[in-house]
Amino acid sequence: MAIDSLGFVVFVFAVLFLYVLCRTTKQRQLVFVLSSFAFLGTFFIDSIVSALYLLVVLVSSFLAIKYLETNKNKIVYRMVIAVLVVAFPAMIYSSPILEFLGIAGIIISVIGYAYIMLRLIHVITDVYEGSIKSIELLPFLAYNLSFLTLIAGPIQRYKPFLEQWESLGETQIENDALYAILNRIVSGYLYLVVFVPLLELHTQVIRRATFLGAEIVAALSQIASFYMFPVTLYLNFAGYCSVVIGIGILFGFQLPENFNKPWLAKDLLEFWERWHITLSIWLRDYLFTPIFRANVGRFKGRLPTLILLTYFFTFLIGGIWHRPSVAFVKWGLVLGTGTAISKYVLDKQVARLGRENYLNMTQTNKLYKYGSRVAVFHVIAFSLYFIQ
């Protein structure tokens, strides 16, 4: 069930109606979980085996978490993470054996399953490290299978989710706030069902210009796609997030923001603080930082080199996370290289000018300010060229 479909709108209204009828938090929690299962079920109509596979992974992860709550066993922790990393690609991608067993290749979406994996790794790691003390089954399932964040995030952390879960629906929404929420949802749908289709019309317009000749039409199509795809992707993703964040508030969840005017970024480091923010934070906490800490001893006196290499490998792995394919490996390589270079140039500029003078230059020097934004856009567009 697509977020921009009429079926999803009807689904949300139906669940909200049931919400209004609920008198207690526990009733609302039960409605939310059952609704999430119903939403998930729309993707499993043709593959019961696939649904059972996902259920086995979730239950096994929950049992592992309960074990790690009282037994901080590093070997068990690493084995659980390794199994998760292997289990989800096996679930996502079909093979002759899986097809023979009746397991579909891509059931929800690659990103949807990838997000479940990230949430599980987050919870398992935080339980192992002790920052999460205990997990109960119902909120665990609601957190991982929420129809709000199942397909493409945002990646909410378990602690804030649990705080909102325990008081679900108790906060009254004032009229002014309700207007802002509805405005946000409508704006998100405008991105999805109006602006994106309009931008995608460029291919049809160009292809009809046959009088220009086949070679010119092909070249114009490539150029238009190069510049339009990043904008279309942003409108799709930001529109989706705007819709689910707004709907989440109606249900009592404050989902984290995922975009903050990314095309205003003056370098790639700032871009990742503005684009898909929750994924960037996850990669920092569960990939970049562990890789850096694990290799500090090997790079004594060469920490800047380690930082650059860690940025490179973080984005390379991030590309593979999206989809283990040559195209996404290239995408990750471009972003990893670009971000490492961006960090290197930033450090050199700060060392030469001083941090205060450098920040002042980025704000007052219009050539640098706008030129760097154009450069960032072209690097991102070039990386996305491989996955169009």
pLDDT in tens, 361-381: 888 889 998 999 999 999 999
| CB burial string 267-295: b at 16+ within 10 A, e below | bbbbbbebbbbbbbebbeebbbeebbeee
- In this predicted structure, the answer to whether residue 293 has a pLDDT above a threshold of 70 is yes
pLDDT of residue 106 exceeding 50, the answer is: no
Residue 38 confidence (pLDDT) above 70: yes
Is the pLDDT assigned to residue 109 strictly greater than 60?
no
| pLDDT (mean) for 24-49 | 85
3-state secondary structure the chain: CCCCCHHHHHHHHHHHHHHHHCCCHHHHHHHHHHHHHHHHHCCCCCCHHHHHHHHHHHHHHHHHHHHHHHCCCHHHHHHHHHHHHHHHHHHHCCCHHHHHHCCCCCCCCHHHHHHHHHHHHHHHHHHHHCCCCCCCHHHHHHHHHCCCCCCCCCCCCHHHHHHHHCCCCCCCCCHHHHHHHHHHHHHHHHHHHHHHHHHHCHHHHHHCCHHHCHHHHHHHHHHHHHHHHHHHHHHHHHHHHHHHHHHHHHHCCCCCCCCCCHHHCCCHHHHHHHCCHHHHHHHHHHHHHHHHHHHHHHHCCCHHHHHHHHHHHHHHHHHHHHCCCHHHHHHHHHHHHHHHHHHHHHHHHHHHHCHHHHHHHHHHCHHHHHHHHHHHHHHHHHHHHCCC
Whole-number pLDDT of residue 56:
84
- Across the range 256-271, mean pLDDT stands at 95
pLDDT value at 248 more than 80:
yes
Q: What percent of the chain has pLDDT over 90?
A: 59
Does 9 score more than 70 pLDDT?
Answer: yes
Instruction: Answer whether residue 207 shows pLDDT above 70.
Output: no
Q: What is the pLDDT of residue 93?
A: 59
Domain residue extents for the chain = 6-165, 175-251, 262-385
Mean pLDDT of 199-226: 77
**Which amino acid makes up residue 178?**
L
For the entire predicted model, the pTM comes to 0.91
Would you tell me the crossing angle of helices 110-129 and 137-145 to the nearest 10 degrees? 140
- Buried residues in 314-348 as b, exposed as e (16+ CB within 10 A): bbbebbebbbeeeebeebbbbbbbbbbbbbeebee
Highest-pLDDT range among 84-88, 295-299, 322-326 = 295-299
87-116 per-residue burial string, b: 16 or more CB within 10 A, e: under 16: bbbebbeeeeebeeeebbeebbebbbbbbb
User: Mean pLDDT, the chain, as a whole number?
Assistant: 88
